[in-house]
Amino acid sequence: MTATPTAPAPTSATTLADAGIALGPLDGRYRATVAPLVEHLSEAALNRERVRVEVEWLVHLTSTGAVPGARALTDDEVALLRAVPAGFGADDVAELAEIERETVHDVKAVEYFLKRRMREGSLADLTELVHFACTSEDVNNLAYALMVRGAVQQVWLPAAQALVDQVAGMARELREVPLLARTHGQAATPTTLGKELAVLAHRLGRQLRRIEGAEYLGKLNGATGTYGAHTAAVPGTDWVEVSRAFVEGLGLTWNPLTTQIESHDWQAELYADVARFNRVLHNLCTDVWTYVSLGYFAQVRGQGTVGSSTMPHKVNPIRFENAEANLEVSSALLDVLGSTLVTSRLQRDLTDSSMQRNIGPAFGHALLAIDNVRRGLAGLDAVPEVMARDLDANWEVLGEAVQSAMRAAGIAGTPGMSDPYERLKELTRGRRVDGPTMRAFVAGLGLPDDVRERLEAMTPASYTGLAAQLVDHLA
């Protein structure tokens, strides 16, 4: 009997792990695309922003006189302190990690890290003002708000806006190109390719405007949100006002009522809007993919790529398929972030600590999808002649126009216009109708001459209503 092979026992390290190979695609295959987010949403960025919050809190305490006896900082000392987060780099990351191995507490490690810097110069007398009256979440919530705001405003929003502008530009360029619409997958009232792209650009733009108006909340009020340590240490200071001014001084919206944690509701709101943008973009991907499949778009650029390993003729719409997958991953992460972060047991639990470390991947997959869609759209050319052939093969779509004109004529007093829907249904349901058949039907209806001539001149390609003009409604 053949022995069943056994898997090797797991080890603490492998050849690939020792080589520093990334576990996930964002830090491996797609690193170049998502690299701008590292500046904002990485673990190193989190620690840098923690240092920034600690520094600014110290500057704020000394500049406001909130703690009697604490001397004011000189301009040079303020500059020296602010240089610590501004110059935060690889050596600082390594040093902070070393301190954390001793403290087994990330925020306490940041406190000790900053105190080390202060003891090296003229600030040794103020070290005990670092992290004064703070709980870890006072630092963390502000650090995350600064991180997410930077990632959204400096990286994600510019990329998303460029995409929307690209789709809007295509909509304007293709505004007059007639397109056979398909409702429920069936031939329907014609539109224009530009108008359909304009719908998607409008939807995406609306979500962008919501995201542009997002609030980023923060708090600094102690272990259970009561300013207990603050008032016990210095009862004469208006700590509520000191807190408000500090949070707003960071460019954030002050949250006056919290438990130990800032409630994260603003994050849930933001992530829901970004996820909705993702889902509209997913809709764009599936529609464009279908138009490529129908031949309405030709993938004419980038043909040096391999479409299929075995079929030389193929150029696959891989950019849109890749984007679909990444949008789904991003939206799933954003959904779980939003649903988890709004709940914390009583005054504090740590579910948010682990959950927020997935903000970077959520935005990373979203940014990767945007990049893929932009590259995919840039490789497309519309093929009006293919669309024209489909329109000419579906004259039955004019049934709607004819029966509507009959209704209007009947209301205006023209005799013989009864049962217009039923008569067009009998002519068109379940069968193809060509131009001569439709024109002959119209000629025999007894319509007023101007109406008859207008309908006889109509073709599926000209029956697009106000589609082209509607593109002008794009913001």
Q: Out of 63, 122, 293, 308, which one is annotated catalytic?
A: 308
Known catalytic residue at 293: no
Known catalytic residue at 344: no
Which of 401, 473, 468, 472 is CA-nearest to residue 191?
A: 468
End-to-end CA distance of the chain: 74
What is the three-class DSSP state of 340? helix
DSSP 152: I
What are the CB-based long-range contacts (under 8 Å, 24+) for 420-425? 424/399, 424/400, 425/399
What tokens does 468 get? 């082209």
DSSP 178: E
Which of 43, 117, 19, 112 is CA-nearest to residue 358?
A: 43
Q: Count CA atoms within 13 Å of residue 438 on its CB side.
A: 27
Which of 253, 251, 243 is CA-nearest to residue 215?
A: 253
What are the CB-based long-range contacts (under 8 Å, 24+) for 66-71? 66/234, 66/237, 66/239, 66/242, 67/129, 67/132, 67/233, 67/234, 67/237, 68/234, 68/236, 70/126, 70/129, 71/125, 71/126
Q: Enumerate the β-bridge partners of residue 217.
A: 253
CA distance 364 to 368: 6
CA distance 40 to 150: 6
Q: What is the DSSP string of 345-411?
A: STT--SHHHHHHTTHHHHHHHHHHHHHHHHHHHHTEEE-HHHHHHHHHT-GGGGHHHHHHHHHHHHH
**CB neighbours of 160 closer than 8 A, spacing ≥ 6?**
204, 208, 211, 277, 370
The H or E element that residue 419 is part of is none
Which of 352, 354, 330 is CA-nearest to residue 341?
A: 352
Q: Out of 184, 309, 354, 418, which one is annotated catalytic?
A: 184
CA distance 229 to 90: 35
Q: How far is CA 444 from CA 31, 75, 438, 447, 455, in A?
A: 67, 91, 10, 8, 12
Give the active site residues: 184, 308
